[in-house]
Structure 1
Amino acid sequence: MLRGSIVALVTPMLASGEVDWDSLGHLVEYHVASGTSAIVAVGTTGESVTLSEAEHLAVVEKTVALAAGRIPVIAGCGSNNTAHAISLSRQLEHMGVVAGLSVTPYYNKPTQEGLYRHYCAIADASGLPQILYNVPGRTACDLKPETVGRLASHANIIGIKEATGDLTRTPLLRELCGEAFALYSGDDATGCDFMLQGGDGVISVTSNIAAAQMAQMCRAALAQESDKARAINERLMPLHRTLFIEPNPIPVKWACAQLDLIASATLRLPLTELTQPGETAMQQALKSAELIASV
């Protein structure tokens, strides 16, 4: 089981909108050097919804090649079209990724039974281990703990990224799913407490720009060194909050460019560049986390 700080990696793009392969290489090296536990390539933070399928697969393949066995790679493979999610999982199965991250179907608003059948269909059709991803704030669809408990009995469904920020779910998910089922927070602001309650790690946006600090915080939380974990997390809290001041990944891409982790903060429409008030807030958050110098 992967544990610790797992980065929900941005997909760097040139000003033209094409994928920036040089910056992707820089990001992978940064995370290897910083102690990040794993990379999620082309998850929702990686703008999966605006990449073509060919680009999606190419970014995953290149990320695995750049990682060269030094850091595990998880691939985004979710869709609100079950057949498409199955197709993606099958194509990713032989690319060297350790698992797929599959977001709940957005817009469709399926029932809990529909969600159960959706994920079982994917897990039955592909040998790629599946990590469920619940983020109702972006999908209008909530994968309830009881449904997760049903899905946890499937041999090919190995964990969940739980991004509600509702810490009352952590012990319930552990009770329903068992110790072998991986529980990852998808909410940076509550990730520390999530791990202190028995979670296994965080699939993190903040890790894009504060990778070493997130890795240190996660190690402390997993070791139940609560004072140390919370002290690190407190320094990161302005980042956790401000990175969502505008829709993700707008702020984090801007911050990555400011820290020279990528060459450009380019996004694809319908996302647009960070506003001036957003830039001011992000600059202050970067200073608070001591990622840039205070004037």
Structure 2
Amino acid sequence: MIPGIGGIGAWVIVHPFNTVAVRMNLATASGKERRQDLVILDDGAMSLYKGLSAGVMRQVFYATSRLGLFDVMRDALAKYREIDVWSRLAVGVASGACAAVVSCPAEVSLVRMSNDSALPPELRRNYKSVVDAAVRIAREEGIFAYWRGCMPFVNRAMLVGACQVGTYDQLKSTFNQLGVTGKFSNVFCASMTSGLFYASVTMPFETAKNRMASQRPDPVTKLLPYRSTVQTIGTIAKTEGVLSLWNGFWPYYLRCGGHTVFCFIIVEQLKSLYLSR
């Protein structure tokens, strides 16, 4: 419950950064790139909050299961062995993979809704809400479309589990040993460091996930252009250049680092309040 509340609260703050990151990341895929300042000028600053309902729903499933399972698995493992950095990494990978599978339908809706305003009018899906997106995806594309992009999402989530959750737990101890002992400063330093690390490592998988989640079948062959994590990353690198896998990195990092900071600060505060009762 507490991890879910922390994830939702943090997501509301960083959602605009995610919107910009998704739009920049998918800009070259549409073939009709629109500058983000023009998108905001045309549609208003509140367009950066497009897809917020899907983002919140994603956190309900993703943050709750990922952070909750991490604590449960770590505590269970502690009964049999000392918890070190390798234990944290293994538990982070396992909890991240489980959370990705559970929350993939909300992730597909989030990617599509966040990027819709940046597309030409004839390519927009115009989902009204996450519920409308869920109903239309099932009706128009079939139930399995909910898990389009699931494998790169799982790959990304496993890396996030290791790099964010696992390293955050370890970095708190490391910064404490370095003299960063203040509650807020310790959480901030550990969060921003783990956020930078995992944003750099996971960006290619984020790109693959975004492409697979937003894609449409080819109008002639009716086949999907992106079919697997490796094929998607390879195709993008070959046709658009390797660095295109990191398109939108800085807003993505602000989303990753910012969400890490605010999520763990909220979680730590809620835990303190709960324990002081």
TM-score range, shorter chain: under 0.3
Q: Which has the higher helix share?
A: 2
State the structure with bigger RCO (CA 8 A, min sep 6), 1 or 2: 2
TM-score, normalised relative to structure 2? 0.25
Q: Which has the higher strand share?
A: 1
